[in-house]
Structure 1
Amino acid sequence: MNTYKPNEFAEMIGVSVKTLQRWDNDGKLKAFRSPSDRRYYTHNQYVEYMGKLVADKDSRKTIIYTRVSTNNQKDDLKNQVKFLQDYANAKGIIVDEIFEDVGSGLNYNRKKWNKLLEDCMLGLVKTVIVAHRDRFIRFGYEWFERFLKSNGVEIIVVNNEVLSPQEEMVQDLINIIHVFSCKIYGLRKYKKKIEEDEEIAKGLQDRD
């Protein structure tokens, strides 16, 4: 069972640690205690708390999702955020939360991206806004778009090509080639080992 420290749980549900402490003391959301008397919370508590929030469908959130590949692109991340905030304001869309990720579009273990998908499955999200589909996921976008729609989530892709640098795609392709090169090299070593073993086995048989 997943457990979370108070600061982690507070960030997940969008409140402060002090609020959690107050809720614990008031009995509104009781924390569990470890043998060393440290507070912690469970994933079941997270699901239960979020489930109460979505009882009213109007409480579902509109989220801006932004991503860059490396920490050196923090300026690009800020540009994405500003561009999408301006877009939302021009369309009269109220943004509830902004998710900022650093990681390759090929990486399915991005912290904020996984949190976003989990919130969508819990029914907490109404709309997701991204600058370009590559910012959401490099490959397989159509599948994830259907996944979001099946959970009642609309995804708005503004398709700003300037905010989807081509050098990132080149780097991702290089990473793919590297992975397959390693696999091919591994297969060659495996094949060579088999051939060596066969030669040894054949030599033993000839001696017999």
Structure 2
Amino acid sequence: MKLVTATKAKQIASVSRVTLYRWRKMGLVKEYKTPTGKIRYDESEICKMSGMMEEKIALYVRVSSNKQKFDAQRQMERLKIWCNDKNLVPSHEFIEIASGLNPKRKILNKILDMVNDGKITKLVVEHKDRLTRFGFEFLERYCNERGCEIIIIDKSEIKEDIVKDLIDIIICFSSKLYGKRTSKNKALKFVTEDMKKYD
């Protein structure tokens, strides 16, 4: 039996420190300690796990309304082209129609469950705000700690969705002040007047 360091084990299996830790906790690989307390791994076990590992790539597309369904299809096509250029083969494709501010999105929550179960190792999206408008760092940490990498292929943002999310925020707060009937009109008026300043 040949023992290797954690660094060498990660290199052999091409995995992160978090994934190696998960393997150990799940009993998939054993750890051995040297007389000085250093952790080592059986190289043959690591090689075996490396052979069992395969990328489970999910593509996620989100648009804010039904009117943007065509844009959702174009988003998905761009993700597929990007994966093809990188020699990646997607195993899952998801399209969701919902606000980026909605924390109860069924498809996104399904994806997070799959990440937790180890069924997704890479999550590819076109823009960061396709996943969430706020708190992306928490979502990224959640995925990374479970062996899933979030890949953002375009760092820019979509102006139309920023406006839509801004309207949703204003409606939420103004409804508490003016009531649900007038809140939407007030929000639209506010955003329209404010956007004119930047045109």
Query: Which bin holds the TM-score, normalised by the shorter protein?
Result: 0.5 to 0.7
Contact 2:128–2:155 (CA under 8 A) maintained in structure 1: no
Runs of 4+ in 1 over 3 A off after TM superposition: none
CA distance, structure 1, for counterparts of residue 68 and residue 175 of structure 2: 28
Q: 2:144 & 2:176 partners in 1: Cα distance?
A: 36
Unaligned runs of 5+ in 1: 1-54, 187-208
Q: In the alignment, which of 66, 79, 98 is matched to residue 74 of structure 2? A: 79
Q: Is the contact made by 1:60 and 1:124 (CA closer than 8 Å) also made in structure 2?
A: no
Two-structure CA RMSD over aligned residues (Å): 1.9
| 2:173 aligned residue | 180
| Contact 1:60–1:123 under 8 Å retained in 2 | no
- What amino acid does structure 1 have at the position aligned with 2:176? K
CA distance in 2, matches of 1:80, 1:160: 14
Deviation track 1:66-100 (CA, whole Å, cap 9, x = no partner) reads 00011111111011111010000001111111111
Kindly indicate whether residue 158 of structure 2 is the aligned counterpart of residue 165 of structure 1. yes
Q: Quote how far apart the aligned CAs of 1:160 are.
A: 5.5
Q: Deviations over 1:132-171 (max 9, x none)?
A: 001111111111011110111001001153xx43111111
Contact 1:64 1:99 in 2 (8 A): yes
1:175 CA displacement = 1.0
- The residue number in structure 1 matching 2:8 is none
Pick from 149, 154, 158: which aligns with 2:149? 154
Higher Rg: 1
Q: Residues 54-203 of structure 1 correspond to what in structure 2 (within 5 A)?
A: 58-59=53-54, 61-159=56-154, 161=156, 164-185=157-178
Normalized against structure 2, the TM-score is what?
0.61
Write 1 or 2 for the structure with the bigger share of helix. Answer: 1
What SS is found at the alignment partner of 1:125? coil
- TM-score, normalised with respect to structure 1: 0.58
- Aligned to 2:104, the other structure's residue is in SS state coil
1:83-141 Cα deviation digits (max 9, x unpaired): 01000000111111111101000111222111100101111111000000011111111
Q: How many residues align?
A: 130
